Amino acid sequence: MHSLAPKRKLQHKPSLDRSVAERASRYGHATYSYKEGLYIYTVNGCIRDLSETECSIRGTIPQVVGSKIRVRLCLYDQQPPLSVNGAILSWFAGGYFGVKFPKLKQNDLLRLEQYLCKVAA
């Protein structure tokens, strides 16, 4: 049986420009942990800026520049938070600090790339 409804052309949605997808200025939740002496502290923060290689977080400055911390990013993608161990504190100013990610596992990098493309749309 044939339909009399006009056929719609399927439109191919072009992929996002790489420069747009690389960095997303979105707010989200993060926790970060750091060791000071014999104690491990875990603190809540807000993601201010996020890319495949680094992010900035609003929160209490955990340590000195160059220190390694663990960051857990809530990406709101129906999966548990993305845990980044060994992130390096790279700067701080005005209640914000930046961390550079170590080389991520392939599946974590893919997940982050997919999330960035989604929020940049």
Residue pLDDT tens, the chain, 121 long: 444 444 433 333 334 444 443 455 556 899 999 998 999 999 999 999 999 999 999 998 878 899 999 999 999 889 999 999 999 999 999 999 999 999 999 999 999 999 998 888 7
93, β-bridge pairs: 96
Output the pLDDT for position 24: 52
pLDDT digit string, tens, across residues 35-69: 989 999 999 999 999 999 999 999 988 788 999 99
Contact assessment for residue 62 and residue 97, using Cβ atoms and an 8 Å cutoff: yes
Candidates 109, 8, 99, 117; CA nearest to 48 is: 99
**From CA 97, how far away is CA 23, in angstroms rounded?**
16
Contact assessment for residue 34 and residue 61, using Cβ atoms and an 8 Å cutoff: no
Judge residue 61's burial from the number of C-beta atoms within 10 Å of its C-beta, 0-12 exposed, 13-18 middle, 19 or more buried.
Answer: middle
Output the pLDDT for position 120: 80
Output the pLDDT for position 21: 39
Output the pLDDT for position 5: 42
Domains of the chain: 23-115 (2.40.10.220)
* Residue environment code for 18-34, b if the CB has 16+ CB neighbours within 10 A, otherwise e: eeebbbbebebebbbeb
